Amino acid sequence: MRFKRSMLSIPYIVFLIIFVMAPLAVVVVFAFTNGSGHFTFENFFGFFRSSRTIATLIYSLFVALVTTVVCLLLAYPTAYALARSGFKKKNILLLLAIVPMWINFTLRITALKEVLDFLEGNLAYYPFLNTIIGQVYDFLPFMILPLFTVFDEMDKSLLEAGRDLGADRKSLFFSVVLPLSMPGIVSGITMVFLPAMTNYVVLDMLYNSTYIMGSLIGSYFNAYDWHNGSMISAILLLIIVIFSSIGKQKDQNSTIVTPVSPSP
């Protein structure tokens, strides 16, 4: 048999089937069946009928929103300063911001827990604040990286053109720098917002007993209710698809390389 170029794709296709298609199919099948294996929409409607699950969804969205906003506010000036610094080895500065990602996630949060415990006396006093601190600590690098990339690659002549055409520093920021950094903002948000909705390990470890979407799925699976657990996963997946398609439309020409999404 002659070797064809297209055969190079076989390993990828096999990988795709085993690790992407099959699990997805399993999730969808479980989401739309009941305990006796019959097809049903009950899990879907059940999700929206239960005030508990809806409250969890809203709380998750809120946690994710606050996390994302704080990350953006911290990362934007940081990334700008890093990219624009005159320091010759600015990649080392970037590394310093990224290096926490290399430390084991649980170890990092455990350390953070000790610090917060020491500062606050008892973690239980500020569960929401602690959650946000933990989430931001965890996700900040994923906001910094895409923003650093846009600032680093930003065409200096565009900034000069802005000044040349009469924009002062402040006006230059709003009329040139901000629009140019939009692709970085969009991909940063995608990198942070969606994972922040499900990353319940941070809450668990910091003794925040309120459920977010991730903990909800976990609780169903722990109770062997795979059908409702799968349905929530499927709904989350749907939300992700909707969000990222909006992001893509806003960001058609962007070539920002985003790091792989974190998962605890």
In the bound state with other proteins, the residue whose beta carbon lies nearer, of 79 and 177, is 177
Which residue, among 44, 47, 43, has the nearest Cα to 55 in the 3D structure?
47
By CB under 8 A, residue 3 contacts other proteins: no
Q: Is 67 exposed, middle or buried (0-12, 13-18, 19+ CB in 10 A)?
A: buried
Say how many Å lie between the first and final Cα of the chain, rounded: 45
Q: Of these, 58, 158, 223, 246, which contacts other proteins (CB under 8 A)?
A: 158
Return d(Cα 50, Cα 144) in angstroms, integer: 38
By CB under 8 A, residue 176 contacts other proteins: yes
Binding segment for other proteins (CB under 8 A), chosen from 15-23, 56-64, 156-164, 229-237, is: 156-164
For the CB of residue 182, give the shortest distance to other proteins in the complex, in Å. 7
Specify which residues 131 forms β-bridges with. none
121 dihedral zone (left: phi>0; alpha: psi -120 to 50; beta): left
By CB under 8 A, residue 174 contacts other proteins: no
Return d(Cα 173, Cα 85) in angstroms, integer: 17
Q: Of these, 134, 141, 146, 162, which contacts other proteins (CB under 8 A)?
A: 162
Q: Of these, 168, 245, 255, 260, which contacts other proteins (CB under 8 A)?
A: 168
User: Which residues lie near other proteins (CB under 8 A)?
Assistant: 155, 157-158, 160-168, 171, 175-176, 179-180, 182, 253
